[in-house]
Amino acid sequence: MVTKMVQINLKTKDIHISNLAKLVSGPNAILYKDEDLLAYDCDGFTIKRHLPRAVIFPKDTHEVSQIVKYCAKHNLPFLARGAGTGLSGGAIPLNNEVIISLVRMKRLLEIDLENRRAVVEPGFVNLKLTNSISDKGYYYAPDPSSQYACTIGGNVAENAGGAHCLKYGVTTNHILGLEVVLPNGDIIEIGKNGIPDAPGYDLLGLLTGSEGTLGIVTKITVRILKNPEAKQTVLAYFDKIDDGSKAVSDIISSGIVPAALEMMDKTAIEGVEAAAFPVGHPKDIEAVLLIEVDGITAGINDQINLILDVCQKRNVREVKAARDEAERGRWWANRKTGFGAMGAISPDYLVQDGVIPRSKLPEVLAKINQISEENGLRIANIFHAGDGNLHPLVLFDSRIPGETEKAIQAGSECLKACADVGGSITGEHGVGIEKKEEMRFVFHDHEIQAQTDIRDVFNPDYLLNAGKLFPAPGRCAEVKRELK
Ligand SMILES: Cc1cc2nc3c(=O)[nH]c(=O)nc-3n(C[C@H](O)[C@H](O)[C@H](O)COP(=O)(O)OP(=O)(O)OC[C@H]3O[C@@H](n4cnc5c(N)ncnc54)[C@H](O)[C@@H]3O)c2cc1C
């Protein structure tokens, strides 16, 4: 009996896999053996794992469309995947999906300096865009700390942010047009030619940040910016975390909008100094701010002086300016590798992603400290302080029974603390599977229903990336749509 079932399953699987394989060109364009699929059982959210049915690598939009049409016809769940750096489990194949990996679609299709835009395929890595145009004096502004690996398709799906989004805005502010394969396989273009305020609904806004639940992005037109004439970067060290937090609010309310305003607390400093890119931060301080200003050369010193003034009023211990581009680069490497650096001081860590009004920073950081003590787990904070986007990093050891659950609980309590002061449960990492239940901290059932109704228009058979973004069935609209 058991043998018979296995044979039937294998046979069914083989039919779909061999049919799907015919839709893609090139060698190794589909993976289906368990040992190959293991690498795709999670993304950057490693707490939950599920094996996909297969991973398929289309080379162009036509192949994506053919795969999607096949999946739709045969009722096979499927989802898109970029680099798999997502931190909320958006690319985890909860329903044994066929994963459509966009990594072969990685070309820079067009650079149009005159109109300040570029066209890329979805698998194009974020940092490569800036690297491709920097010699001409241009760059692409959204700079997630994962920018050396994550794809622009994944950035669109997550509406990714980054350190410099304080001044320049997040991904949605830089997307001018998209080509999208809908869940029935149709190909549509939205935001044609980047014309502002195009007629009709703002589908660009809707698709950006929809976490891969409305369609598969296959081409992206992005805005590119001219390099600022000058920039200056400073580190400010504070003995008291409250002083550092208040300095953040004071800097913004003084009228300056720094290009970046990042903060790390004492535990975070311990981590980054123990990892690959130490820069000699004092270990006895409670907070460091990494502040960058940019613009025309004539205005830079005034901005820096104003910032110095604010920091002094908040009892800063020391402020130092980067002496050259190399030092600035080291400071940014220290900050941008901060999440991974937690591996130097803890076997495991869970990254959280809440947003609060800046003025609530002291209150919420104190609450996070309390959550840490109550749960008996250390929590480091590395975050985009200027826009109130917190990243509490819950440190834990998954080998200790019950500690993973405790870390998840502590992470959820941090998000509740953000929601309770009028903030939100995600600033840039998305909801995915991780924060589905926490959506209830910020939305009523009928508000969730309004959103799932929109999803159902695009994704009526719920085959694309099911079980993500919205709470489980039982208390709201999701009752209508059980997972397949
Ligand atoms: C060390 C580290 C630092 C990070 N720092 C930041 C940060 O500063 N700011 C920030 O915003 N994020 C950050 N992230 C999170 C992550 O890098 C971003 O969410 C990124 O946008 C994910 O891109 P990806 O290509 O890895 O997408 P994936 O992880 O592969 O996918 C993410 C989601 O997008 C969907 N998707 C992927 N490609 C497509 C497509 N072409 N069409 C439709 N849907 C698609 C997937 O189905 C999934 O739901 C960080 C992650 C790590 C590991």
Whether 91 and 122 share a structural domain: no
Please say which residue of 345, 364, 386 terminates a domain: 345
How many domains does the chain contain in total?
A: 5
Whether 130 and 154 share a structural domain: yes
CA of 302 to the centre of ligand 1 (A): 37
Whether 214 and 239 share a structural domain: no
Whether 95 and 137 share a structural domain: no
- pLDDT of 259 reads 95
Mutation test residue for ligand 1: of 158, 170, 175, the one with most atoms within 8 Å of CB: 158
Whether 134 and 217 share a structural domain: yes
CA of 377 to the centre of ligand 1 (A): 27
Mutation test residue for ligand 1: of 46, 146, 220, the one with most atoms within 8 Å of CB: 146
pLDDT digits (tens), the chain, 484 positions: 333 333 333 343 559 999 999 999 988 899 999 999 999 999 999 999 999 999 999 999 999 999 999 999 999 999 999 999 999 999 999 999 999 999 999 999 999 999 999 999 999 999 999 999 999 999 999 999 999 999 999 999 999 999 999 999 999 999 999 999 999 999 999 987 667 677 889 999 999 999 999 999 999 999 999 999 999 999 999 999 999 999 999 999 999 999 999 999 999 999 999 999 999 999 999 999 999 999 999 989 999 999 999 999 999 999 999 999 999 999 999 999 999 999 999 999 999 999 999 999 999 999 999 999 999 999 999 999 999 999 999 999 999 999 999 999 999 999 999 999 999 999 999 999 999 999 999 999 999 999 999 999 999 999 999 999 999 765 444 444 444 3
**Whole-angstrom Cα distance, residue 14 to residue 35?**
16
Please say which residue of 226, 244, 275 terminates a domain: 226
Residue nearest to atom 15 of ligand 1 (CA): 86
Whether 135 and 222 share a structural domain: yes
Does residue 207 contact residue 87 with C-beta atoms inside 8 Å?
no
Residue nearest to atom 44 of ligand 1 (CA): 212
| Two structure tokens written together for 167 | 């001044």
Whether 134 and 59 share a structural domain: no
Say which CATH number the domain at 89 has: 3.30.43.10
Q: In Å, what is the CA distance from 43 to each residue of 39, 190, 269, 470?
A: 9, 28, 26, 19
Q: Is 459 in the pocket of ligand 1 (CB under 6 A)?
A: no
Whether 233 and 317 share a structural domain: yes
Say which CATH number the domain at 130 has: 3.30.465.10
Please say which residue of 226, 257, 283 terminates a domain: 226
- pTM, two decimal places: 0.94
Does residue 293 contact residue 306 with C-beta atoms inside 8 Å?
no
Atom index in ligand 1 nearest the CA of residue 122 equals 41
Atom index in ligand 1 nearest the CA of residue 79 equals 47
- pLDDT of 109 reads 98
Q: Which domain holds residue 86?
A: 2-101
Whether 322 and 363 share a structural domain: no
- pLDDT of 481 reads 47
Whether 297 and 351 share a structural domain: no
Whether 134 and 164 share a structural domain: yes
- pLDDT of 4 reads 37
3-state secondary structure the chain: CHHHHHHHHHHHHHHHHHHHHCCCCCCCCEECCHHHHHHHCCCCCCCCCCCCCEEECCCCHHHHHHHHHHHHHCCCCEEEECCCCCCCCCCCCCCCCEEEECCCCCCEEEEECCCCEEEECCCCEHHHHHHHHHHHCEECCCCCCCCCCCEHHHHHHHCCCCCCHHHHCCHHHHEEEEEEECCCCCEEEECHHHCCCCCCCCHHHHHCCCCCCCCEEEEEEEECEECCCEEEEEEEEECCHHHHHHHHHHHHHCCCCCCEEEEEEHHHHHHHHHCCCCCCCCCCCCEEEEEEEEECHHHHHHHHHHHHHHHHHCCEEEEEECCCHHHHHHHHHHHHCHHHHHHHCCCEEEECCEECCHHHHHHHHHHHHHHHHHHCCCEEEEEEHHHCEECEEEEECCCCCCHHHHHHHHHHHHHHHHHHCCCECCCCCCCCCCCCCCHHHHCCHHHHHHHHHHHHHHCCCCCECCCCCCCCCCCCHHHHCCCC
Mutation test residue for ligand 1: of 63, 81, 126, 355, the one with most atoms within 8 Å of CB: 81
- pLDDT of 193 reads 67
Whether 66 and 12 share a structural domain: yes
Say which CATH number the domain at 430 has: 3.30.70.2740
CA of 330 to the centre of ligand 1 (A): 24
